[in-house]
Structure 1
Amino acid sequence: MDKFKEFLISFKKIIPDIGLLLVGAFAHLLFILFSPIFHIIGQLKLKQFPEPKTIIITGASSGIGRELALLYAAKGKFLALTGRNQERLNEVAKQCRAKGATVETTTIGVTNRSELEQWIDMIDKKSNVDVVIANAAVSEPSAPNDLSYEEKVRYLTDTNVYGVLNTILPLLQRFRDRHHGQIVVVGSLSTYVTHIFPAYVGSKSWCHGWTNTLRQELAPYGIGVTYIAPGMVDTHMSDVLGDMKKPMMKSPRDSAIIFKDAISENAPWVTDNTPTHYLVYLLNTVPLRLKDGYQVLTNYGYPDGNKMQDPYYFGQSNIQQSIKGLQALHQRWQALLDTNTFKNEEFRWSQNELKRILNDVEADINDLMDSILVVEKFPDRFNIDMMEIEKRKRFIRESRAAVDDVKRDMSSQQVTAKIERDKQNELLNTERRQNMQRESKYSGINRAYEEDTNEFLRENMQIQQEYFNNQDQELEELAQGVAIIGEMGHAMKNEAEIQGNILDRLGDRAAKSQGALGGVMRRLDKLMEATSSKVQWLMIGILAAIFVILVVISLTILKKK
């Protein structure tokens, strides 16, 4: 009885929530009455911007960012695009340039504050930025699978919150100084859905609140701010949801057209899916105190939401998408197998791409199986029964079977023989064509042309023969000259021998003269000892004169020889 009484008393707690709903209903009626006045005032105060020339778009390699870039691309436009996938980003840039736009691209991540700021500064110096669109974002399912829960929360916050700030803040003061510029933040209708993906919803709720407040703050500076709230759009972010329900899905192209029109109108807020907006807005009016009961009923009506919180389903979704793409490419590969596989470039590309996808899918399957084995050891900790574990193992077996079917077909003897046969046939055909070309090289030449050619060859040969004859004559003359030089060398050798003999005889005479001079000097010494000093000096003079005469005579003889 006491418990029943307490239960009845607990209803008092929801009285404020009921009052909140009543106030909300009254406020909505009041705003309906005043909405025409609000609209007129807003239109009178609304600043209209000219067609932008320079636009920065982050996350432009796919999805909404890609389509916005293609819509803005035109002659005279300068697009600055960022994206993580270089190959896809290059393809987008190529298509934009084909429309006449000037394009700058970079793969700098929005979480890299310093490098992104430098790149934005470089773009703004080249051409004043008119519109910056912060589009890059990730969600829990699209985040790397190897991250823990805590790491995913930080990863999403860095990208979806700080990535937006890193994109916009470098331009904020420039826009203020120029009293011109538009800021666009791509958010989500998930702001109103507090059911799944808390990190993603929380980050987009921050973007929603910051953008709407920033619009009021920057309006006096002539700066426009627009918040974009897409519903379900057919992009990679929705692909990873797998089989989860995706109500009222739109194509990126259709959504981008709506968003571009809203940006040109300087709209404060825009969505591409009005019915979904009505639904989530209605559900968001549930007071927080009643949220728990409402959430229980929501889980029954929309169980996919809770299911996607399990990391297993992230991996399952990726594998399902990969196998789907693998099977589609395999069918195309089978059709190309009937062509000449050696010459067909598409076949070779398909073959290599199939091998790459097979390796990636097998790695993903092995990783998912490892996680299942961990859960199987501790089922109570993960609140999963054995029936669910067996169901997951069955998915692994089916996925491996699908992969094995493709591998078996690609490595079958028939396929291997066909590819090798096409290769050999093409090599043989190439050799035949080369032989035929050699055999028929002159078959179509006119006979007169052949005669002219032969005459030309004969004249050429005659000229060459005359040249060779002249060379022979010159060589003979050269040989004669060499012979003459040889004879001269021999004569010079003989002359050198004669001169050597003469020098030898002169040397003998000089030696004899030197001996005679020595005898004279010895006699002079004896004579000097026997005479007085005056006589000695007289004798020295006489002997010196004799010595000079002898030297003169010797030199005279040498000159005559």
Structure 2
Amino acid sequence: MTDEPKTVVITGASAGIGRAAARRFAARGDRIALLARGRTGLAAAAEDVRAAGGRALEIPTDVADYEAVDAAATRAENELGPIDVWVNSAFTSVFAPFDQIHPEEFRRVTDVTYLGSVHGIRAALLRMRARDRGAIVQVGSALGDRSIPLQSAYCGAKHAVNGVVEAVRVELLHDHSNVHITVVQAPAVNTPQFSWVLSRLPRKPQPVPPIYQPEVLADAIVFAADHPRHKQYWVGASTVGTIVAQRLAPRLLDRYLARTGYDSQQTDGESKRGTGNLWSPLDGLEGPDYGAHGEFDDRAHAHSPQAWLTRALTSIGRKH
């Protein structure tokens, strides 16, 4: 439990990593504004927050719309108090070879995953800089440092997210600001995205092992919010391994991914067709609540030695 409850805004809060993070912040008694498109998922996330001891505010929002994001930030401050922490977790994607992704689909992934993060950062900064305090936590991805086949739109957006976060961080340093921005770099995570993302693969999509439970990322997000001065936090062996391999042997990694990258992202079972959640939420008023977890509980790790080491080293550094 923190000394004082904080006001936290989470985008993509209706499912997956955002949903798990909402629970973790709620367990500290924080006040949480939940932003997402799916009203069924949002209502369930709000119940999770209240059950865990926090205060919840549901705000249906498409992060691709800046005016909607800015209005959500205003409402959050009016009803919950000044925003202390902003978490960008919303995204969408398409599983398909590049030439099978239509231009409007590529644009939509970019609008949500990249520009949605830009919108969140801007809305948070406009309020935090005036008070000279606050933390922005961006959920990143190993795929923002090293792209893989069949996810070109998502990889491009996550690369762009890393670029804008780095630029904003340096600007804040230049201004000696007490507002901080950091990235939690996610590995493969057991979230519902593999059940609701648009896919044109012949077989059912899956995360590339090793897979981690969303609570591992949620713990890292809360830790990053409390220790936001660091540039980034790596979570999971796959994240660290991918980044190291990209630095040391990029051409070998290219060949490895060309050989393994298609099969490793597909599992048994026919892929669902349709538009997925690209244009509208699957957890809308008539849809089910997908929750935080996907379909890979039996293969997902509940702990990450890399995340534990990051927290330990950060704590040691603060003591010295």
Which one of 54, 58, 65 corresponds to residue 101 of structure 1? 54
- Mapped to 1, the partners of 2:239 and 2:256 lie a distance apart of 20
- Mapped to 1, the partners of 2:11 and 2:191 lie a distance apart of 15
Shift of 1:201: 0.8
Structure 1 contact 141–237 (Cα < 8 Å) conserved: no
Which one of 264, 269, 276 corresponds to residue 232 of structure 2? 269
TM-score, with length taken from structure 1? 0.43
1:501-520 paired onto structure 2 within 5 Å: none
Identity level (%): 25
Shift of 1:93: 0.4
1:247-326 paired onto structure 2 within 5 Å: 247-266=209-228, 267-273=230-236, 275-285=237-247, 291=251, 295-304=254-263, 316-318=270-272
Corresponding position of 1:89: 42
Larger radius of gyration: 1
Residues 1:202 and 2:156 are matched in the alignment: yes
Shift of 1:262: 2.5
Gaps of 5+ in 1: 1-48, 320-352, 358-561
Residues 1:123 and 2:79 are matched in the alignment: no
**Counterparts in 2 of 1:282 and 1:53: CA distance versus 1, 3 Å:** closer
- Mapped to 2, the partners of 1:238 and 1:182 lie a distance apart of 30
Structure with more of its chain in helix, by fraction: 1
Shift of 1:75: 7.1
Corresponding position of 1:4: none
- Mapped to 1, the partners of 2:29 and 2:207 lie a distance apart of 42
Aligned residues: 261
- Mapped to 2, the partners of 1:245 and 1:79 lie a distance apart of 29
User: C-alpha offsets along residues 393-425 of structure 1, whole Å, 9 cap, x if unaligned?
Assistant: xxxxxxxxxxxxxxxxxxxxxxxxxxxxxxxxx
- Structure 1 residue ranges (4+ consecutive) displaced by more than 6 angstroms after TM superposition: none
Shift of 1:227: 0.5
- Mapped to 2, the partners of 1:173 and 1:301 lie a distance apart of 44
Corresponding position of 2:141: 188
**Counterparts in 2 of 1:80 and 1:286: CA distance versus 1, 3 Å:** same
Shift of 1:95: 2.0
- Mapped to 2, the partners of 1:122 and 1:301 lie a distance apart of 47
Corresponding position of 1:509: none
Corresponding position of 1:224: 180
1:493-532 paired onto structure 2 within 5 Å: none
Shift of 1:215: 1.8
**Counterparts in 2 of 1:245 and 1:235: CA distance versus 1, 3 Å:** closer
Structure 1 contact 137–160 (Cα < 8 Å) conserved: yes
Residues 1:236 and 2:192 are matched in the alignment: yes
**Counterparts in 2 of 1:259 and 1:304: CA distance versus 1, 3 Å:** same
**Counterparts in 2 of 1:243 and 1:175: CA distance versus 1, 3 Å:** closer
Shift of 1:299: 2.1
Structure 2 contact 182–232 (Cα < 8 Å) conserved: yes
TM-score, with length taken from structure 2? 0.72
Indicate the structure whose relative CO is greater, using CA pairs within 8 Å and at least 6 residues apart: 2
Residues 1:113 and 2:66 are matched in the alignment: yes
Shift of 1:166: 1.7
Residues 1:178 and 2:141 are matched in the alignment: no
Gaps of 5+ in 2: 274-285, 289-320
Corresponding position of 1:68: 21
Shift of 1:148: 5.1
- Mapped to 2, the partners of 1:132 and 1:221 lie a distance apart of 16
- Mapped to 2, the partners of 1:301 and 1:74 lie a distance apart of 40
Could you tell me which amino acid in structure 2 is paired with residue 182 of structure 1? A
1:114-513 paired onto structure 2 within 5 Å: 114-126=67-79, 127-141=81-95, 149-196=102-149, 197-219=151-173, 220-239=176-195, 242=204, 244=206, 246-266=208-228, 267-273=230-236, 275-285=237-247, 291=251, 295-304=254-263, 316-318=270-272
**Counterparts in 2 of 1:303 and 1:129: CA distance versus 1, 3 Å:** closer
